């Protein structure tokens, strides 16, 4: 029986092998890269988004750090105040967020209308 098992498997799988051969592509599809991106001719580079990134980063990270410290502040000893910790955490988070936002916004170009000749 052990000698017949490979023969039976070959007979059962041979129709499947011929069906797979029919699935081959005649020609391989070719990848054609698109044209490189270029801004519209009536628009020129007028700067970058450094100031916008600074503002968004400062507000977002400052508020997030304020919320984290505000949640953990109530778990301290009774009778202690956390107002100075909240203010310090907001300023620290705002400073870090402003720096990161400045770096990220500085690498994104800003385009505007071309000046009239």
Residue 18 reports pLDDT greater than 60: no
**Residue 112: alpha-carbon gap to chain centroid:** 26
More confident residue, 79 or 106: 106
| Torsions phi, psi for 46 (to 5 deg) | -115, 5
Condensed to tens digits (0 to 9), the pLDDT of residues 37-87 reads 765 667 788 899 999 999 999 999 999 998 888 776 666 556 656 666 788
Residue with tokens 């400062």: 58
Condensed to tens digits (0 to 9), the pLDDT of residues 87-101 reads 888 899 999 999 999
Cα maximum dimension of the chain: 92
Distance separating alpha carbons of residues 31 and 28, to the nearest angstrom: 10
- The band of 3, judged by pLDDT with boundaries at 50, 70 and 90, is confident
**Residue 90: alpha-carbon gap to chain centroid:** 26
Distance separating alpha carbons of residues 117 and 111, to the nearest angstrom: 18
* pTM over the 0.85 mark: no
Where are the domains positioned within the chain? 49-108
More confident residue, 4 or 39: 4
More confident residue, 54 or 31: 54
């Amino acid at each position: 029986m052990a000698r017949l098992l490979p023969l039976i498997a070959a007979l059962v799988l041979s129709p499947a092998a011929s069906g797979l051969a029919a699935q081959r592509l005649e020609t391989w599809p070719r990848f054609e890269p698109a044209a490189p991106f270029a801004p519209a001719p009536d628009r020129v580079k007028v700067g970058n988004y450094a100031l916008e990134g600074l503002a968004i980063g400062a507000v977002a990270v400052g508020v997030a750090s304020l919320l984290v410290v505000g949640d953990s502040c109530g778990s301290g000893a009774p009778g202690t105040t956390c107002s100075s910790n909240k203010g310090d955490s907001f300023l620290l988070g705002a400073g870090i967020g402003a720096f990161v936002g400045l770096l990220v916004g500085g690498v994104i170009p800003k385009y505007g209308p071309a000046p009239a000749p």
